[in-house]
Amino acid sequence: MRKAVIIVAGGKGLRMGSDIPKQFLPIGGKPILMRTIEAFHHFDPDMQIVVVLPLSQQDYWRNLCNQHAFNIPVTIANGGETRFHSVKNGLGQVGNDVELIGVHDGVRPFVTAEAIGQCYSAAKSYGAAIPVVDVVDTLRQLPSGSSGKDAILHSVTVPRSQYRLVQTPQVFRADLLRNAYAQEYVDAFTDDASVVEALGHDVALVPGNRENIKITTHFDLIVAQSLL
């Protein structure tokens, strides 16, 4: 089955405290986004790779590619107002011959080939699959709509065994994902799985890899350098 991945890279680097968008920051001398693209290209060199970037960042990206002699073929799509709209724009660039489409965060460069493979394999079987990892910290739930003293005094512990942390790539059968993104946007669409679930379709959970962190803060960047 022909595969594609939409890599969403619309960050501005605000939480990183950097003038350079976080996806372009270097780790080990190479921009994060390039390492993310390489992970999917090495998994399947025939995979179509669509990178979603704000229009204002596209020239900067092309210059980076020239500087690093980066020649993995990618299709560029314009970023949208929200992640939902960015993914929708990316879908418009995916070939009609593609049967499985993944959506991945541009700042998750440490996803393993094994995790990618399990997501695409499960999506082939079930239509929709996302990678997850166990929650290792204790979780507490705040009362609905709480703030101030209520939030401090009235939280309760919830069983962490009933929860999972969600990663990307989130992978779907192409027709299912296209139908999902034909819906009108609502605030409840926090990731691609939530968009697909709004159609009433179940989403399979597969094991992610713990080091598949999303690099959004300076601390994450330090961890990423260590992982590399």
- 21-69 pLDDT tens trace: 999 999 999 999 999 999 999 999 999 999 999 999 999 999 999 999 9
- Give the number of other Cβ atoms within 10 Å of residue 38's Cβ: 15
Closest CA relative to residue 3, chosen from 144, 104, 109: 104
Give the helix/strand (H/E) hosting 156. strand 156-158
Q: Domain locations in the chain?
A: 3-129+166-227
- 77-112 pLDDT tens trace: 999 999 999 999 999 999 999 999 999 999 999 999
pTM to 2 decimal places: 0.94
End-to-end CA distance of the chain: 32
Closest CA relative to residue 99, chosen from 140, 71, 127, 138: 127
Q: Are strands 170-173 and 164-166 parallel, antiparallel or unpaired?
A: unpaired
Nearest-Å Rg of the Cα atoms of the chain is 18
CATH numeric code, 3-129+166-227: 3.90.550.10
